[in-house]
Amino acid sequence: MAKQQSGTDDLRRLVRDLGKLPAEVRKELRPTLRKAGVRARTRAKGNASWSRRIPGAIRLQVSFAKRRPGVALRVDQQRAPHARALENLGKPGFFRHPFFGDREQWVSQRARPFLFSAAQEEWRSINADIAAAVFTAARKHGF
């Protein structure tokens, strides 16, 4: 069974074929890609509503770089340094850390994943939106 193409794969192929995307194509694609990722960001902020700092630290990033084109959710490490540990790579369970920095005494704390689950739930619609945007932009600019 062949792998199903995703919108991100289409964007990667477009970036690979064209090299650096022309400014007018990037200008046209950026708002559509941002709009596709807003739902995931909103869901992630809702998932992290138990925290005072994490929801405000979640950012949406749109990139046309050759290595990783697409939409990414990022958490500002300066504003919410505890977010990465609490996310626990999207897995429920526990993680361990020193008790108030005392390396002699360690405690276990329950993980509270908020980011991976939000992105996973919105993945299909984000990919469909990206594929549609790439197709529309490519067609409009004669590709």
Q: Are 59 and 76 in contact (CB under 8 A)?
A: yes
Count other C-beta atoms under 10 Å from residue 93's C-beta. 10
80-138 pLDDT tens trace: 999 999 998 889 999 998 999 899 999 999 999 998 888 887 877 888 887 888 778 77
Provide the β-strand partners of residue 107. Answer: 97
Q: Is 113 exposed, middle or buried (0-12, 13-18, 19+ CB in 10 A)?
A: middle
70 closest CA partner among 141, 3, 13:
13
Q: Can you tell me whether residue 51 is helix, strand or coil?
A: coil
Q: At what angle do helices 115-140 and 7-18 cross, to 10 degrees?
A: 50
Which residues, including other chains, have CB under 8 Å from residue 33's CB and lie 6 or more apart?
A: 62, 70, 71, 129, 130, 133
Provide the β-strand partners of residue 92. Answer: none
15-42 pLDDT tens trace: 666 666 677 777 888 888 898 889 889 9
Rg (the chain; Cα; Å): 18
pTM exceeds cut of 0.85: no
